[in-house]
Structure 1
Amino acid sequence: MDRHIVFKCPQTGMNVQHRLGDEPADRTHVSVSCPACTRLHLIDRASGKLLGERRG
């Protein structure tokens, strides 16, 4: 089941909305092409947080 997440781009500080699709269960992170900075970010599939982002 697809779900929408919102993350803050670490380069621009902008909030970015992205849809996470169904991925294979062996992958814990997915790469997301960021429309705010055009770079790739790694997103944790379970939490929707950026790799390295502190939980809070």
Structure 2
Amino acid sequence: MDRQIVFKCPQTGMNVQHRLTAAANDAADTHVSVVCPACTRLHLISRATGRLLGEK
């Protein structure tokens, strides 16, 4: 099942909405790469939590 997440871009500070697609073999600790529309850089987002890699 797809789900929408909102994360804060670490470069611009803007809130960015993104759709995470579900994969059949989702592991709780996997991250997916997302091209940020706010800064056009690549961010890694946790599939389980929707948080950026390194975010507390």
What TM-score does the superposition give when structure 2 sets the normalisation length? Answer: 0.89
Which residue does 1:50 correspond to in 2? 52
Map of 1:1-56 to 2, 5 A cutoff? 1-23=1-23, 24-26=25-27, 28-54=30-56
Cα distance, 1:22 vs. partner?
A: 1.3
CA RMSD for the aligned pairs? 1.2
One-letter amino acid of the structure 2 residue matched with residue 37 of structure 1: C
Consecutive unaligned residues in structure 1, runs of 5 or more: none
What TM-score does the superposition give when structure 1 sets the normalisation length? Answer: 0.89
What is the aligned-residue identity percentage?
A: 76
One-letter amino acid of the structure 1 residue matched with residue 44 of structure 2: L
Consecutive unaligned residues in structure 2, runs of 5 or more: none
Provide the C-alpha distance between the structure 2 equivalents of 1:44 and 1:16, rounded to a whole number of angstroms.
15
